[in-house]
Structure 1
Amino acid sequence: MCFPLVSCILFLFGTCTAYWSGLLSSASVRLLSSLWLALKRPSELPKDIKMISPDLPFLTIVLNIVSWTTCGALAILLSYLYYVFKIVHLQASLTTFKNSQLVNTKHSRRSEKKSNHHKDSSVHHLRLSANDAEDSLRMHSTVNNLLTWIVLLSMPSLIYWLQNLRYYFKLNPDPCKPLAFILIPTIVILGNTYTVSIKSSKLLKTASQFPVPLAVGVIAFGSTHLYRIPCFVFIPLLLHALCNFM
């Protein structure tokens, strides 16, 4: 408070932390996707980009039951791992598609003109899908960085629950349980969201105006009330999840 340069130094430190955490997150996704390709090679890019899988409600119910019966931070961690798995699978599918596209390009000169024309139209359609997948990966990397901080801020609750697990199975009171009930379906929906469905949403323009004032709120309250930061981070995630339905 007395030294004016403290805020500037903290701003630079926070910017460096966000930048390097983003690079570390992207490198981790690429490494995990390489391991996934070594174990199992995905067939193709996702097709039904605007359809919600029927397994999502079941997964949401299971994770909410885990949150209610055990610890909210544990359910948040499990949903975060599910989200990371979806990103890794998308990265692996995109890598496989690019490699196959390069192979098809080498052999395209040997085909006839009619087949070349048909293949060019199909490749053009697939190239649009690849571009959408790349845009979706950029979106998911940003969401993953925000979710990482939510998980880290909820870890003290999980550590406390693990240390006292021999005394009681359900954490009570649980400070992460209210957040987990709303955050879990949001993460599950975002994990199956692509930029094509969000760009056509009428809510996107309104949702894009919230991150800046919420960042100001984090700066104002985060230094003294650290437990409020996940609530500020959660609001733009919820709005972007609602963009799939509006």
Structure 2
Amino acid sequence: MTGRLTPRPVLRPLEAVVRRLRHMCPLSDAELGLLRSLGAHRERHATGEELVSEGAAACRPRFLLSGWACRQRVLPDGRRQIFGFLLPGDGFALHRRFRPELSTIAALTALETVDAEPALEAVDGGRAPGLALALAAIEPIEQKQYFDHMMRLGRQTAYERVAHLLLELQRRLEIAGLGDSQRFPLPLTQEMMADALGLSIVHVNRTLQQLRRERLIELRSGVTILLQRDLLARIADFQPPPLRTPPAASATASPRAEVRDASAPSGP
């Protein structure tokens, strides 16, 4: 299970976005075509660039195609709190186009984004009912992730926090087609993890080393391997909704298609 790493196939530019949205709700061929057409106008961003500033009155809705970003606030003395990570396939300002942004969104790696406005205009015009349901399903899932993060910071030990974060990232990347049930890319530095988990860099390092010694995880060349995923989930009390197999590409969306609630057992 931990032998040579097999390179994963390179996804088409919009594929992570498509996979994530189809995970929420079946999409019609027209909706899939609309999403994939967005990749014609990609925008590149450098590491450390602010994509959105806290308090910005008008934020351009974007989908993240590649690279990682985060939502953060930085105190005057430089201390930073990361509220959550944005991964390929995620979007931002999708539900807040006309409201001020509550946190700064910054690039943690070099990344590419694409304008989501054409997709949102189709939703607003009633031309993409499946996409409307998929986008609506994202909001409660992101809210659940914030509650999970509050629980990590407020009540979990360092050991539990690190395990819980790794499990969350693994699951999200698997949905986007960028990992599997065991292994996934992890471009985060220990400083970034510390800023997200409310720990010191030294504490994060010690915790990762403990997880490695106990043969729960393996870290290799920017790839994390969960050696005993079920045991990690019990340790961290990680309780995500079950994964749902995406429908075939030709599936036709219906306005009445069921949207999996973030907390409801269904089979996303």
Query: Which protein is bigger by CA-based radius of gyration?
Result: 1
- The structure carrying a bigger helix percent of its residues is 1
Provide TM-score, normalisation by structure 1. Answer: 0.29
Provide TM-score, normalisation by structure 2. Answer: 0.27
- The structure carrying a bigger strand percent of its residues is 2
